[in-house]
Structure 1
């Protein structure tokens, strides 16, 4: 997809407010998600892929890979979001998976700006941290990640 097909919104560092939130739509996890992630990662551990073995374990059924939950959550955050030409991902801190995700679960993500600070070396940019909390259809938290975004300043 070319950049020209994205709707753009010019949001500079100064435009972000601590406490601002947004939420994604939901997405239901399918068996295909399990298999695709196992194919990409090479992680075919039985707690993700072996129904019979899982029957002998505490959850009694396969759980999707934590990194698949994180990847799908990240994708949800981008759907419907306008492209901000002034910001880009700087990385993630603190990724946790407090509860498992199963086939048939529907997940969604709530994003909250929790930190805003100057970049330590680049006076022209700042760092925004968003806490991304992914929940299932029962409002149980299944993934927490802190996304650090590198954002241009309007008036450096």
Structure 2
């Protein structure tokens, strides 16, 4: 019987818990930085119908094809509040994973209509940041959020102001990233 030699694929390897993206903390923001948020998102008819029904938006431009066909747009438009929610959601990964509160949404503008089948992309620019005397664990970051369709047309802009945690008060780790409770999943002592 031949002696077995260890296969390089079956050799034991060191295991590590590797930190993923933990989002930006207050110190990570610099005025003038632009974050192009990952992933575009195609808006479906279902998105529009659900949002219109859930919010009881009774404007027939969103749910009545025959009515919308007779307007200057010739078809239904996607509910503007869905576009806002989608763009804000797309920005969370870069702007507010570590926010303790959203203080405001200002200067909201719909620049062009959004239709079923449009793919939306979003980016945020840091406009200002400031520390608070009353709360030493957070700072305020003001951003401009811009959303575009697949043709590069600006469809939405707004200013967003989250209150963001400072790194020293977050104590992020690979074993306990944002949103995870302590002790869930693989822990260093398990390796």
Q: TM-score, normalised by structure 1?
A: 0.82
Q: 1:133 aligns with which of 137, 146, 160?
A: 146
What residue ranges of structure 2 are gaps of 5+ in the alignment?
1-18, 169-191
- Give the distance between the partners of 1:135 and 1:41, measured in 2 at CA: 24
Q: In 2, Cα distance between the equivalents of 1:153 and 1:17?
A: 14
Q: Runs of 4+ in structure 1 displaced over 4 angstroms? A: 81-85
| Match of residue 15 from structure 2 | none
Q: Residues 50 and 118 from structure 1, CA distance in 2 versus in 1: closer, same or farther, beyond 3 angstroms? A: same
Higher Cα Rg: structure 1 or 2? Answer: 2
Change in 2 beyond 3 A, CA 1:57/1:66? same
Higher mean C-alpha deviation, range 15-24 or range 121-130: 121-130
Give the corresponding residue for 2:100.
88
C-alpha contact 2:96 2:162 (8 A) present in aligned 1: no
Match of 1:52 in 2: 66
Aligned-CA RMSD value: 2.6
* Alpha-carbon distance between aligned partners in 2 of 1:53 and 1:137, rounded to the nearest angstrom: 26
Question: Which has the higher relative contact order, 1 or 2, with Cα contacts under 8 A spaced 6 or more apart?
Answer: 1
Query: Which of 45, 48, 71 pairs up with 1:34?
Result: 48
- The TM-score normalised by the length of structure 2 is 0.68
Gapped regions of structure 1 (runs ≥ 5): 1-5
CA–CA separation in structure 2 for the residues paired with 1:149 and 1:82: 8
Alignment map for 1:1-156 (pairs within 5 Å)? 7=20, 9=22, 11-24=24-37, 25-78=39-92, 84-85=97-98, 87-90=99-102, 91-119=104-132, 121-153=134-166
Q: How many equivalent pairs are there? A: 149
